[in-house]
Every structure is written in C-alpha cells, then in structure tokens.
Amino acid sequence: MNVSVDATTCAGHGRCYTLAPDVFGMDDEGRGVADHVPVPPGQEARAEEAILNCPERAVIRNG
C-alpha cells in the first residue's frame, strides 16, 4: 500500500497525521504531507482510516 496527500486540495484539518502519525507528516501550515509513501507493515488500517476521514478527499491511495 502506498499513499499520497494532494497538496492542492488538502485544507489542513490534520486528521490524516492524527489517525496515522507513522504514515503522514505535517507541514508548517498544518497540512498533511505524504508523497507516494509506502505504508509500514501493520499501519494499513490506520492509513485506510485516514483516507476515509479526510474531509477534502485529499488522501490518495496509489496502490
């Protein structure tokens, strides 16, 4: 599993890195950061939660 945050639609709600801190980073303005990040073993469910809970649908599953 591999995920990204679309920086053009992310509005900085912070749910992604709150739900999956081992997958998503945060920039200085509170936006989620991930660019084709491989989800570590055991973190898949948290990453799925982040995808489902992003209000802007900015978390993208690449594969």
What residues line the site for ligand SF4 (CB under 6 A)? Answer: 5, 10-16, 31-32, 54-56, 58-59
Asked if 32 contacts 24 with a C-beta cutoff of 8 angstroms, the reply is: yes
Q: Is 59 helix (H, G, I), strand (E, B) or coil?
A: strand
In the complex, minimum distance from the CB of residue 32 to ligand SF4, in angstroms, rounded to a whole number = 3
Structure tokens at 32: 């989620």
In the complex, least distance from residue 60 CB atom to ligand SF4, rounded to whole angstroms: 9
Question: Nearest approach, Cβ of 20 to ligand SF4 (angstroms)?
Answer: 9
Residue 6 identity (one-letter amino acid): D
